[in-house]
Amino acid sequence: MAIREESGLPTLAHLNLLAAAFESVDDGHDADDLAEFIMETAYLAEKLSPEDVLRDINEDRAVSGFPEVRALDQIEAELTERKRYYRGAIKDALDRLPPMTLIQVMTETVDGVTSGGEDHAPGLIDDLVDSYEVETQGVLQIEAENVHKLIKVAREHAGSGEAAVKPYVDKLDAVARNWDKIAQPIQLSLKARGIDHEASRDLAYEIRSLAIDLFNKHDMLAQSQRLTGLIQELFSEVPEISDRVEQDADALANIVQQRKQAAASQDELAREITYRAEIGVMFKDTLSILPQGISWKGQNFPLDSITRVRWGGVSHSVNGIPTGTTYTIAFGNRNSEAVVELKKQDIYSTFTDKLWRAVCVRLLTEMLEALKEGRDLHFGDALLHNDGITLVKRKFLGSNERVRCSWSQVHVWSADGSFCIGAKDDKKVNVGISYIHSANTHILEQAIRMAFKKPGLRRLSDLLQ
């Protein structure tokens, strides 16, 4: 071992002595030191020049009176045999080590000479890795089969929920790590040579396929992220996989962020729409709106069940003197409706504002989607189309006539508690839809007024864009 520190020796002589020193390596040798020893030998072998060896041999032969060797190819052939001998000496030393120590030495050696797979390794290391790959092929195959079995079982249990899948993902994690520990020197070596390790690539794609299925088919985001992170960690030395899985990880991270934002938005919406008010003078009833739904006098409507809303106020007076305003708010589903009568404007205004956020935005979207699908919708005497509206032309004598207009042919206004739509070129063609008595009038008005703010818009459903 002291020969490792010698300097000034001819390269060939130094290598021959180092090869002999490997015979002193036993199963208790320090792994880090042995990796360093192998790297020293490999770097020295790279300096082995046929021309220098030929010169040294001929100098000795001249002193001894022997004729010079003139054929360089003879030297090159013998040096090839010498390098096989050096590889054999190192391999014999490695074979005397415990299996995990052998793997550690190989990994540290290849990682060191390639700078993590970025630089070309000395030829002696490449030869050593090729031999290692052949000898570990059987073990890697067995571990790969175990991974495939676990992937199959995880898929079979995915329908039972995340709790049923997690134990198999745990085992898959452990087996894949063991597989990668053995394959790591091969991955690093091939990456340095610009080649993907096919077995690693194939196994990584199998695990990636499971990660995709767990998310796409079963919405198991956490397990999908876990497997994606595992692939990134274990197969970073396989460029094709590394690039693809980085995109997967970014996509999953974006989904996580979107879900966090959506959850935050839901929490914010819940805070914004939550409201409770007592209505009545002597006998009070509670009107409430919560994320779970709206309640009034024992009637409860989940928010997503509500299909119709209406509201408005009627002012009263006696002999021209105002006596107050009665406000009406109604909401319901396809089967029933709750009607709230109240006199306090602040409760009316606050509740209808929260009702809009909680229900009406959804109803507006659903109305536009229905129009996009080609359905026509009735609002009082009007028939709503995606590209226009059918109004009524009222006649003093004879039956009224129905007139279809495009959106560019009509204008809107409010009058006498109604939302009014009329033809621009004929005052007799119009309809008035009551805010307080007709369902979803406020939603219709919002859609049309939004459309009029977009010059040239021909279809209401274009608002969905």
What is the C-alpha to C-alpha distance for residues 15 and 11, in angstroms, rounded to an integer?
6
Check if the beta carbon of residue 301 is closer than 8 Å to that of residue 332. yes
pLDDT in tens, 269-284: 788 889 999 998 777 8
User: Dihedral of CA 38/40/42/44: which sign?
Assistant: negative
Closest C-alpha among 182, 80, 83 to residue 125: 83
Taking alpha carbons only, the member of 270, 274, 282, 349 closest to residue 311 is 349
Secondary structure letter of residue 365 according to DSSP? H
pLDDT of 389 higher than 90: yes
Residue type, 199: A
> Residues near 356 by Cβ (< 8 Å), separated by ≥ 6?
442
What the block records as the tokens of 164 is 């049923």
Average pLDDT over residues 420-443: 95
* CA-based nearest residue to 446, from 435, 430, 458: 435
Q: Are 25 and 34 in contact (CB under 8 A)?
A: yes
Q: What is the mean pLDDT of residues 314-327?
A: 86
Q: pLDDT at position 4, please?
A: 81
| Partners of 314 in beta bridges | 326
CB 238 within 8 A of CB 197: yes
Instruction: Tell me the torsion sign for CA atoms 235, 240, 246, 252.
Output: negative
Alpha-carbon Rg for the chain, nearest whole angstrom, is 41
pLDDT level of residue 251 (50, 70, 90 thresholds): confident
Say what the pLDDT of residue 446 is.
96
Architecture of domain 274-367 in CATH?
Roll (2.30)
Q: What is the mean pLDDT of residues 159-179?
A: 94
How far apart, in whole angstroms, are the C-alpha atoms of residue 52 and residue 41? 18
Q: Give CA–CA dist 147/436, Å, rounded.
A: 66
User: CA 56 to CA 52: how far, in whole Å?
Assistant: 6
What's the pLDDT tens digit per position in 196-242?
Answer: 899 998 999 899 889 888 888 888 888 988 998 899 888 888 877 77
Closest of 79, 77, 67 to residue 16, by C-alpha: 79
pLDDT at 390: 96
pLDDT digits (tens, 9 = 90+) for 75-86: 899 999 999 999
Separation CA 158–CA 178 (nearest Å): 24
Q: Where along the chain do its domains lie?
A: 2-255, 274-367, 376-464
Residue 268 has pLDDT above 90, yes or no: no
The residue with tokens 């009551």 is 434
pLDDT single digits (tens) 328-383: 999 999 999 999 999 999 999 999 999 999 999 999 999 999 999 999 999 999 99
Matching residue, tokens 């219709």: 444
* pLDDT for the residue numbered 167: 95
pLDDT at site 266 = 73
Instruction: Please tell me the least confidently modeled range out of 252-256, 307-311, 387-391.
Output: 252-256
What pLDDT does residue 70 have? 85
Q: H or E element: which one contains 430?
A: strand 426-434
Q: Indicate the DSSP class of residue 437.
A: T
Alpha-helix runs per DSSP H in 317-360: 345-355
Report the candidate in 317, 294, 296, 289 with the shortest Cα–Cα distance to residue 305.
Answer: 294
